[in-house]
Chains A and B, each alone.
Chain A
Amino acid sequence: MKIGIYPGCSLTGSAREYNQSVIAIAEAFGIDIEQIPDWNCCGATAAHNLNKDLSLALPARILTSAEKHGLFEVVVPCAACYSRLMTTKHELDHDPVKRNKISEIIEADYQGKVQILNVIEFIDKYITPKLDDKIKRKFNNKIACYYGCLLVRPAKILKYDRAEDPQSMDTVMLKLGAEPLQWNRKVECCGAGLTMAKTEIVAKLSGTIIEDAQHQGAEAIIVACPMCHANLDMRRKSINSVLGKKIDIPVIYITQAIGWALGMDDKKLEFFRHFVPVNITVKEVSV
Chain B
Amino acid sequence: MGFSEHHSTGLSGEIIEQTGVHVEKCYQCGKCSAGCPLSDEMDYPPSLLLRMIQTGDKELEEKVLKSYTIWLCLSCEMCYQRCPMEIDIPTLCDYLRSRSIEKGHINPKAKNIVKFHKAFLNSIKNTGRLYELGMIANFKFSSMKLFQDADLAPAMISKGKLHFLPEKIKDTAQIKRIFNKTISKKVK
Contacts and interface: CB of A to CB of B under 8 A. Distances in A.
Contacts of B177: 107
Nearest to A95: B20
Interface in B112-171: 112-118, 120-121, 124, 128-130, 132, 136, 139, 143, 148-149, 151-152, 155-156, 159-163, 167, 169-171
A267 to B, nearest CB: 13
Contacts of B115: 197
A14 B80 contact: no
Given A107-B177, A273-B161, A196 B139 contact: yes
Interface string A210-235: 00000000000000000000000011
Given A52-B98, A197-B116, A57 B178 contact: yes
A13 B163 contact: yes
B41 A201 contact: yes
A43 B114 CA distance: 14
A149 B82 CA distance: 13
B76 interface: yes
B120 A57 contact: no
B170 A54 contact: no
B39 interface: no
A50 B139 contact: no
A197 B80 CA distance: 24
Interface residues of A, number: 58
Interface string A24-65: 000000000000001111011111111111110110010000
Interface of B: 37-38, 41, 72, 74-78, 80-81, 86, 88, 94-95, 97-98, 101, 112-118, 120-121, 124, 128-130, 132, 136, 139, 143, 148-149, 151-152, 155-156, 159-163, 167, 169-171, 174-175, 177-179, 181-183, 186-187
Interface of A: 9-10, 12-16, 38-41, 43-55, 57-58, 61, 105-107, 149-150, 153-156, 163-164, 187-189, 191-194, 196-199, 201, 205, 234-235, 237, 272-275
Given A14-B156, A51-B186, A153-B76, 9 more contacts: A16-B161, A51-B183, A52-B94, A105-B182, A107-B177, A149-B77, A192-B74, A197-B116, A205-B37
